[in-house]
Amino acid sequence: MIWDNDLECLDRKQLEKLQLERLKQTVQKVYDKVPLYRKQFDKKGLRPGDINSLDDLRLLPFTTKDDLRDNYPFGLFAVPQEEVVRVHASSGTTGKPVVVGYTADDMEMWTGLVARMVTMAGVTSKDVAQVAFGYGLFTGGFGLHYGLERAGATVVPASGGNTEKQIMLMQDFGTTVLISTPSYALYLAEVAQMKGIDPRKDLKVRLGLFGGEPWTEEMRAEIEQRWDMKATDNYGLSEVLGPGVSGECQYACGHHIAEDHFIVETINSDTGEPVKPGEEGELVFTSLTKQAFPVIRFRTKDISVINQEQCKCGRTTARMRKVTGRTDDMLIIRGVNVFPSQIESVLVNMEGLSPHYRLNVTRKGFLDEMEVLVEVSENTFDGRFKELERLEKEIKEKLYTVLSVNARVRLVEPHTLERTSGKSKRVYDYRNQEGG
């Protein structure tokens, strides 16, 4: 089913007309209401009236996470605080978070876009949808909650954590849809199994809506196998909206972007210039309808490819390839570029290993060293050291083939690496720390 048939299936010419109208309004609004944007426009000698085509978007300045941090907490809001009905904040790893706000109209738009996205993934009013994202400043819990409700599902606001209780709720309420980070879905399956519950047979979860962190196709296959479910991906970020920016339809061939509310560009992250159609680049979003917190050309640091061909599902909106990396999560090990997703692809495909791993990067003298810690699966670790040595060697060789980097590999016992109910942290880079 298509939630918003008229808008999701618009002819591209009509869509672009709508985008331009909305872009002009947004540009005028930020110029009038947000001092940072006015300053940046003035510096470039730009007036809102100079934006007369979608190509003129390139004249506009980029917005970065630092701009948002520098204007903490409400400096980039375009409406008075009494019109803001909700704030959220993105999970900053260091320092102050980035704060975003929503008016009542923004909330309505957000709810509608999430309803659109969950419907696209296959949720219906017959579903019992358990939201295992944190309810709080993170946009995941509340964002999914209202859209699922709008789509008519029976929502179980379990929030993150309390893993055993999550399983109990799934059993007792007959949960059919799980909403969480992909790494938490794996952890939930593991805990269920430890309690003697087989997620494939004893639970009714048929569909997963996962997002909030990168995960590979190999990880998707692993989750689908452990749960006997269809695992779909959806993407979003607080600065732009939260969840609801894009999501997969039943064909899972890229995420449909809500282009009537956002313009997406892909740029070369070094030069800031647009990449050619079909080429990989950094995603940049401009909001078209947001009232409290409009953003102009927000640089996400997420890497993807945009495809404007019409999808088999009938939707005409552009699709973005699943995001498996960010410009800032690429590790440079002895001069070689390494993406954590490459390591995940190798590990998840190998027999005898669990999908839990951790990368430690250190520097000895002037040389970078990478250590990969991998958990073996239950029945692999039974004290046969020769076998383990052989497995470590095999992983090391496979990693070298893919990365051209020599990594130290250490197998660890099952259930020893940290799990979280939110976004997982797998890379620990100690190189810039004293003694690292």
Instruction: Confirm or reject binding of residue 213 to ligand DLL (CB under 6 A).
Output: yes
Choose between 238 and 317: whose C-beta lies nearer to ligand DLL: 238
DSSP per residue, 330-360: -EEETTEEE-HHHHHHHHHTSTTEEEEEEEE
Choose between 233 and 259: whose C-beta lies nearer to ligand DLL: 233
Separation between Cα atoms, residue 101 and residue 239, nearest integer Å: 9
From the list 119, 139, 175, 287, which residue makes contact with ligand DLL (rule: CB under 6 A)?
139
Mode of pairing for the β-strands spanning 242-248 and 86-90? unpaired
* Residue 210 dihedral angles phi and psi, to the nearest 5°: -115, 150
Instruction: Confirm or reject binding of residue 48 to ligand DLL (CB under 6 A).
Output: no
Residue 267: CB minimum distance to ligand DLL, A:
15
From the list 134, 147, 214, 254, which residue makes contact with ligand DLL (rule: CB under 6 A)?
214
Residue 98: CB minimum distance to ligand DLL, A:
8
Instruction: Confirm or reject binding of residue 238 to ligand DLL (CB under 6 A).
Output: yes
Which tokens sit at 224? 């689908």
Which tokens sit at 15? 């869509």
**If DSSP codes are grouped into helix, strand and coil, which group holds residue 167?**
helix
From the list 235, 262, 293, 357, which residue makes contact with ligand DLL (rule: CB under 6 A)?
235
Residues numbered 71 to 130 that lie near ligand DLL (CB under 6 A) are: 90-91
Residue 209: CB minimum distance to ligand DLL, A:
8
Instruction: Confirm or reject binding of residue 134 to ligand DLL (CB under 6 A).
Output: no
Span from 163-171, 219-227, 236-244, 305-313 in contact with ligand DLL (CB under 6 A): 236-244
Instruction: Confirm or reject binding of residue 265 to ligand DLL (CB under 6 A).
Output: no
From the list 19, 26, 40, 300, which residue makes contact with ligand DLL (rule: CB under 6 A)?
300
Binning the chain into helix, strand and coil, the percentages to the nearest 5 are: 35, 25, 40
Instruction: Confirm or reject binding of residue 140 to ligand DLL (CB under 6 A).
Output: yes
Interior/surface letters 323-351, b for 16+ CB within 10 angstroms, e for the rest? bbbbeebebebeeeebbbbbbbbbbbeee
Instruction: Confirm or reject binding of residue 298 to ligand DLL (CB under 6 A).
Output: no
Residues numbered 388 to 417 that lie near ligand DLL (CB under 6 A) are: none
Residue 200: CB minimum distance to ligand DLL, A:
24
Note whether 4 and 15 are within 8 A (CB). Answer: no
Residue 240: CB minimum distance to ligand DLL, A:
8
**If DSSP codes are grouped into helix, strand and coil, which group holds residue 86?**
strand
Which tokens sit at 374? 């991998």
Instruction: Confirm or reject binding of residue 268 to ligand DLL (CB under 6 A).
Output: no
From the list 97, 101, 160, 236, which residue makes contact with ligand DLL (rule: CB under 6 A)?
236
Residue 423: CB minimum distance to ligand DLL, A:
7
Instruction: Confirm or reject binding of residue 142 to ligand DLL (CB under 6 A).
Output: no
Instruction: Confirm or reject binding of residue 340 to ligand DLL (CB under 6 A).
Output: no
Residue 351: CB minimum distance to ligand DLL, A:
27
Separation between Cα atoms, residue 145 and residue 218, nearest integer Å: 28
Separation between Cα atoms, residue 357 and residue 196, nearest integer Å: 24
Give the residue among 103, 23, 82 at the shortest CA–CA distance from 291: 103
Instruction: Give the contacts of 111 (CB within 8 A, at least 6 positions apart).
Output: 146, 147, 149, 150
Separation between Cα atoms, residue 268 and residue 264, nearest integer Å: 14
Separation between Cα atoms, residue 385 and residue 134, nearest integer Å: 41
Instruction: Confirm or reject binding of residue 243 to ligand DLL (CB under 6 A).
Output: yes
Instruction: Build a one-symbol-per-residue string for 319-338: x at contacts with ligand DLL by CB under 6 A, - elsewhere.
Output: ----x--x------------
Which residue in the block uniquely carries the two structure tokens 């938490």? 184
Nearest residue by C-beta to ligand DLL? 211
Using CB atoms within 10 A of its CB, is residue 307 exposed (0-12), middle (13-18) or buried (19+)? middle
Choose between 259 and 369: whose C-beta lies nearer to ligand DLL: 259
* Count of chain residues binding ligand DLL (CB under 6 A): 22
Instruction: Confirm or reject binding of residue 212 to ligand DLL (CB under 6 A).
Output: yes
Binding site for ligand DLL (CB under 6 A): 90-91, 133, 138-140, 211-214, 233-238, 242-243, 300, 302, 323, 326
